[in-house]
A and B are shown apart, each in its own frame.
Chain A
């Protein structure tokens, strides 16, 4: 574990030799001092115990056979006081029984008397190696605990029986827990909301060979409502066995509140703008219909154009509202299982009427065993309505539009291909920008807000998908919508 600058190779062990034979004490001290170790000695068990109580020794060399207090009693005491101290017993007459008994009581090793310096160095070296490993583990644990406790995100680790192994301060604060330690308790008993427990179940049931992060929003109703974004993943041991789960909570309450205010504001403004425009349209219509007196052809034409402009403004407001709603993330909150071939068939049928006006043929090529996806229905309708409407708008009379589907690498592809005017290559990477519209001789008269494709892109990306476009002037354009299929282990979306 050489993950830090300060490793325990810098550390010099404190050694205590407890033996009633002066010769042994002095011999040990001499041999070990040569290695730069700090060595103290005690002439009997009582003195040894006093010294042990006063300070911590890394290693104790302990004679088993001593008058008054035996080595066994000292050993037991050491295990109580300093469980991480390594004890090596010195056995006067090397009986296996004594050694075994000492090992049972927690001795690390034994060295039989008489022993030579080489034997002593070897057994101490082994003990030091062990001590250092222990020290390293203790250091990295405390470092890890420190890091985890300093995080402002809540972190909680469970074992594979959903018992809490670690929960940092932020986590306890987020779930409103105060008082006793959560360690060892089942997660179900610590938090009333079942979402977290269900996420952990789901993470634990993920097949070994797949990795998955389960993401959900947690709404906790305490004194103040808290909205937490929570992510949960299983973690595995060296052999791939599930050891438990790790959950990270991020407080998004403030973000959600701002979002809500933004979307309230947008819909309020939108309504306040749309309503007067609606009645404006109606007033013009009354004049156009001659209900307010006769009008000339020229007046009629001007009013018709004015109506067109107002209609376009109404569309613009609606689309701005849509965009604000998508960007606030609200649209992906309500997902359902969608059979894409059905949705596309409905779309094609719906738009066929409009296309026939321009003598445009729309065809659909799709597979009945197309896997379902998890998506927002209204969002998907908006995506394909926009793309198909665009294809109709930007194609001359007598063109064809083809909608086809495919599955590739865990993604569902929907391709909308037209034989329309095409998009100049210099415009291709800008068409998804808000308010950007390709205007040339052929398309100048086409009405639009310049928001349609921006909306499409936002919706697709909110579903963790992607949209691609290929186009050739005079030959046509193909948009490919790429949407992720439900992942393995996400049971509520499996067919």
Chain B
């Protein structure tokens, strides 16, 4: 049991968190859940996850802020962060500036609507 890696899912939509969790558990991961950026930090401190799947638009603290806080923290910057973003579906060309020039320190991102199979690939690739 203990060698199962922990993945934290942070999204303000409980249904989406639930579906993602079911998929991740079926792929042999353990899942922690949080519904906004503040709760996200609480979960990270409770048990350090190997990877975080993080929504961008959330109440209280958005995904960009949380992501940058994690990546600027000495202790937690090693955690892999995958952003879920609705913006990326506008990206076609390779040199598009993400979020109109807003830089993000995330390791990877998955465009919405989420292709679950692709997300699983990204999760596994980033955990190798």
B93 touches A343 (CB 8 A): yes
CA separation between A289 and B116, bound complex, in Å? 10
Query: When each residue 428-441 of chain A gets 1 if its CB lies under 8 Å from chain B and 0 otherwise, what string results?
Result: 00000000000000
- Which partner residue on chain B sits nearest A321 by CB separation? B90
Contact of A318 among B13, B89, B95 (CB under 8 A): B89
CA separation between A488 and B89, bound complex, in Å? 37
CA separation between A377 and B100, bound complex, in Å? 11
Q: Which residues of B contact A256 (CB under 8 A)?
A: none
B114 touches A381 (CB 8 A): no
B112 touches A274 (CB 8 A): yes
Q: Which residues of B contact A377 (CB under 8 A)?
A: 93, 96
A279 touches B13 (CB 8 A): yes
Contact of B26 among A277, A289, A350, A385 (CB under 8 A): A289
A378 within 8 Å of B by Cβ?
A: yes
A151 within 8 Å of B by Cβ?
A: no
B20, B23, B112 pick with most chain A CB within 10 angstroms = B112
Query: When each residue 4-35 of chain B gets 1 if its CB lies under 8 Å from chain A and 0 otherwise, what string results?
Result: 00000000010110011011001000000000
A292 within 8 Å of B by Cβ?
A: yes
Q: In the complex, how many residues of chain B place their beta carbon closer than 8 angstroms to a beta carbon of chain A?
A: 21
With A275-B13, A278-B114, A279-B13 known as contacts, the answer to whether A286 contacts B19 (CB < 8 A) is: yes
With A281-B113, A381-B96 known as contacts, the answer to whether A286 contacts B89 (CB < 8 A) is: no
A347 within 8 Å of B by Cβ?
A: yes
B13, B19, B26 pick with most chain A CB within 10 angstroms = B19
CA separation between A382 and B90, bound complex, in Å? 8
- Which partner residue on chain B sits nearest A271 by CB separation? B57
B94 within 8 Å of A by Cβ?
A: yes
B128 within 8 Å of A by Cβ?
A: no
Q: Which residues of B contact A385 (CB under 8 A)?
A: 92
A278 touches B22 (CB 8 A): no
Cβ < 8 Å to A, chain B residues 15-73: 15-16, 19-20, 22-23, 26, 57
B86 touches A271 (CB 8 A): yes
B86, B94, B95, B113 pick with most chain A CB within 10 angstroms = B113
A350 touches B86 (CB 8 A): no
B92 touches A381 (CB 8 A): yes
A291 within 8 Å of B by Cβ?
A: yes
Q: Min CB distance, B19 to chain A, in Å?
A: 4
Q: Which residues of A contact B95 (CB under 8 A)?
A: 346
Q: Which residues of B contact A292 (CB under 8 A)?
A: 22
A285 within 8 Å of B by Cβ?
A: yes
B19 touches A283 (CB 8 A): yes
B23 touches A291 (CB 8 A): yes
A281 touches B114 (CB 8 A): yes
CA separation between A343 and B113, bound complex, in Å? 26
Q: Which residues of B contact A103 (CB under 8 A)?
A: none
Q: Which residues of B contact A350 (CB under 8 A)?
A: 92-94
B96 touches A282 (CB 8 A): no
Cβ < 8 Å to B, chain A residues 363-391: 377-378, 381-382, 385
A282 touches B114 (CB 8 A): yes
B113 touches A278 (CB 8 A): yes
B26 touches A347 (CB 8 A): no
Q: Min CB distance, B63 to chain A, in Å?
A: 13
A275, A291, A314 pick with most chain B CB within 10 angstroms = A275
CA separation between A289 and B27, bound complex, in Å? 12
A357 within 8 Å of B by Cβ?
A: no
A311 within 8 Å of B by Cβ?
A: yes
Q: Min CB distance, B47 to chain A, in Å?
A: 24
B13, B22, B93, B95 pick with most chain A CB within 10 angstroms = B93
CA separation between A310 and B113, bound complex, in Å? 10
B89 touches A279 (CB 8 A): no
Cβ < 8 Å to B, chain A residues 301-335: 310-311, 314, 318, 322
Cβ < 8 Å to A, chain B residues 89-113: 89-90, 92-96, 112-113
Q: Which residues of A contact B112 (CB under 8 A)?
A: 274, 278
Q: Min CB distance, B88 to chain A, in Å?
A: 11
A279 touches B92 (CB 8 A): no
CA separation between A274 and B92, bound complex, in Å? 19
Q: Which residues of B contact A222 (CB under 8 A)?
A: none
Offer 23 A-B interface pairs, CB within 8 angstroms, sorted by A: A271-B57, A274-B113, A275-B16, A275-B57, A276-B13, A278-B86, A278-B112, A278-B114, A279-B15, A279-B16, A285-B19, A289-B23, A289-B26, A291-B26, A310-B113, A314-B113, A346-B94, A346-B95, A350-B94, A377-B96, A381-B92, A381-B96, A385-B92
The 10 closest A-B pairs by CB, nearest first: A279-B16, A282-B19, A279-B15, A381-B93, A385-B92, A286-B19, A285-B116, A291-B22, A279-B13, A278-B113
